Amino acid sequence: MDLVPALEEPLKQPLKSVLGPATAKVMAEHLGLHTVGDLLHHYPRRYEERGQLTHLADLPMDEHVTVVAQVADARLHSFASSRAPRGKGQRLEVTITDGSGRLQLVFFGNGVHKPHKDLLPGTRAMFAGKVSVFNHRLQLAHPAYELLRGDGEEAVETWAGSLIPLYPATAKLESWKIGKAVQTVLPAAQEALDPLPPALREGRGLLPLPEALLKIHRPATKADIADARARLKWDEAFVLQVALARRRYADAQLPAVARRPRADGLLTAFDDRLPFTLTEGQQKVSREIFADLATEHPMHRLLQGEVGSGKTLVALRAMLAVVDAGGQAALLAPTEVLAQQHHRSVTEMMGDLAEGGMLGGTEHATKVVLLTGSMGAAARRKALLDLATGEAGVVIGTHALIEDKVQFHDLGLVVVDEQHRFGVEQRDALRGKGKQPPHLLVMTATPIPRTVAMTVFGDLETSVLDQLPAGRSPIASHVVPAADKPHFLSRAWERVREEVENGHQAYVVCPRIGDDIEEAADPKKAAKKKSAEDEAEKRPPLAVLDVADQLAKGPLQGLRVEVLHGRMHPDDKDAVMRRFAAGDTDVLVATTVIEVGVNVPNATAIVIMDADRFGVSQLHQLRGRVGRGSAPGLCLLVTEMPEASAARQRLNAVAATLDGFELSRIDLEQRREGDVLGQAQSGARSSLRVLEVIEDEEVIAEARSEAMALVTADPDLDRLPGLRTALDALLDEEREQYLEKG
Q: DSSP string of 474-517?
A: PEEEEEEETTT-HHHHHHHHHHHHHHHHTT-EEEEE-SB--SSH
pLDDT average, residue stretch 3-20: 64
User: Which pLDDT score, from 0 to 100, does residue 151 have?
Assistant: 52
User: Which pLDDT score, from 0 to 100, does residue 520 have?
Assistant: 42
Distances, alpha carbon 636 to alpha carbons 318, 395, 509, 715, in Å: 36, 37, 10, 53
Residue of higher predicted confidence among 135 and 380: 380
User: Which pLDDT score, from 0 to 100, does residue 533 have?
Assistant: 38
Is residue 43 within a helix (H) or strand (E), and if so which, with residue range?
none
Q: How confident is the model at residue 675 (pLDDT cuts 50, 70, 90)?
A: very low
CA distance 8 to 113: 41
Overall pTM surpassing 0.75 (yes/no)? no
CB atoms within 10 A of CB 597: 25
Residue 68 has pLDDT above 50, yes or no: yes
Residue 684 has pLDDT above 50, yes or no: no
Pairing of strands 411-417, 328-332: parallel
User: Which pLDDT score, from 0 to 100, does residue 423 have?
Assistant: 53
pLDDT average, residue stretch 318-330: 94
Q: Which residues contact 254 (CB under 8 A, 6 or more apart)?
A: 297, 298, 437
CA distance 121 to 114: 15
User: Which pLDDT score, from 0 to 100, does residue 719 have?
Assistant: 84
User: Which pLDDT score, from 0 to 100, does residue 135 have?
Assistant: 77
User: Which pLDDT score, from 0 to 100, does residue 681 have?
Assistant: 38
Of 46-60, 252-266, 389-403, 700-714, the one with minimum mean pLDDT is 46-60
Pairing of strands 46-49, 163-166: antiparallel
Q: Where are the beta strands (DSSP E) in 510-667?
A: 561-564, 587-590, 603-608, 633-639
Q: Find, among 457, 380, 449, 358, the residue nearest to 416 by Cα.
A: 457
CB 709 within 8 A of CB 462: no
pLDDT average, residue stretch 183-197: 87
CA distance 660 to 652: 14
User: Which pLDDT score, from 0 to 100, does residue 519 have?
Assistant: 44
Is residue 251 within a helix (H) or strand (E), and if so which, with residue range?
helix 222-253
User: Which pLDDT score, from 0 to 100, does residue 354 have?
Assistant: 86
CA angle centred on 54, ends 50 and 57, rounded to 5°: 145
CA distance 711 to 501: 63
The phi, psi pair for 46, rounded to 5°, reads: -155, 180
User: Which pLDDT score, from 0 to 100, does residue 571 have?
Assistant: 83
Q: What count of residues does the chain have?
A: 742
Of 56-70, 196-210, 477-491, 517-531, the one with minimum mean pLDDT is 517-531
CB 384 within 8 A of CB 320: no
601: left (phi over 0), alpha (psi -120 to 50) or beta: alpha
Report how far Cα 455 is from the mean position of its chain's Cα atoms.
12
Q: Which residues contact 187 (CB under 8 A, 6 or more apart)?
A: none
CB atoms within 10 A of CB 521: 9
Residue 80 has pLDDT above 70, yes or no: no
User: Which pLDDT score, from 0 to 100, does residue 394 have?
Assistant: 95
Residue 532 has pLDDT above 60, yes or no: no
Q: How confident is the model at residue 740 (pLDDT cuts 50, 70, 90)?
A: very low
pLDDT tens string 460-473: 788 888 777 666 77
Of 61-75, 125-139, 612-626, 662-676, the one with minimum mean pLDDT is 662-676
Residue 352 has pLDDT above 60, yes or no: yes
CA distance 335 to 117: 65
Report how far Cα 647 is from the mean position of its chain's Cα atoms.
18
Distant-in-sequence contacts of 688-693, Cβ < 8 A, 24+ apart: 688/236, 688/240, 688/455, 689/41, 689/42, 689/43, 689/232, 689/236, 690/43, 690/229, 690/232, 690/233, 690/236, 691/233, 691/236, 691/237, 693/449, 693/451, 693/452, 693/455, 693/668
Q: Find, among 521, 537, 519, the residue nearest to 529 by Cα.
A: 537
User: Which pLDDT score, from 0 to 100, does residue 111 have?
Assistant: 80
pLDDT average, residue stretch 588-593: 88
CA distance 482 to 536: 10
DSSP for residue 718: T
pLDDT average, residue stretch 344-354: 89
Using DSSP's 3-state secondary structure scheme, residue 444 falls into strand
CA distance 242 to 725: 12
Q: Which residues contact 365 (CB under 8 A, 6 or more apart)?
A: 266, 352, 353, 354, 355, 356, 357, 358
Q: How confident is the model at residue 635 (pLDDT cuts 50, 70, 90)?
A: very high
Lateral strand order in the sheet of 461-465: 367-371, 392-397, 328-332, 411-417, 439-444, 300-305, 461-465
User: Which pLDDT score, from 0 to 100, does residue 325 have?
Assistant: 92
CA distance 331 to 417: 7
User: Which pLDDT score, from 0 to 100, does residue 136 have?
Assistant: 76
Residue of higher predicted confidence among 546 and 450: 546
CA distance 162 to 216: 13
Residue 724 has pLDDT above 80, yes or no: yes
User: Which pLDDT score, from 0 to 100, does residue 527 have?
Assistant: 43
DSSP for residue 335: S
Of 145-149, 245-249, 268-272, 287-291, the one with minimum mean pLDDT is 145-149
User: Which pLDDT score, from 0 to 100, does residue 688 have?
Assistant: 66
Residue of higher predicted confidence among 476 and 737: 476
User: Which pLDDT score, from 0 to 100, does residue 502 have?
Assistant: 95
Q: Quick one: the chain helix, strand, coil %, rounded to 5?
A: 45, 20, 35
Using DSSP's 3-state secondary structure scheme, residue 27 falls into helix
User: Which pLDDT score, from 0 to 100, does residue 447 have?
Assistant: 67
Q: Which residues contact 121 (CB under 8 A, 6 or more apart)?
A: 71, 72, 73, 74
Give, rounded to a whole angstrom, the gap between the first and last alpha carbons of the chain. 23
Residue 319 has pLDDT above 80, yes or no: yes
CA distance 289 to 464: 12
Q: How confident is the model at residue 74 (pLDDT cuts 50, 70, 90)?
A: very high
pLDDT average, residue stretch 691-709: 83
pLDDT average, residue stretch 646-674: 77
pLDDT average, residue stretch 373-387: 90
- Kindly state the percentage of the chain with pLDDT values over 70: 79
For the chain, the average pLDDT equals: 81
CA distance 510 to 529: 20
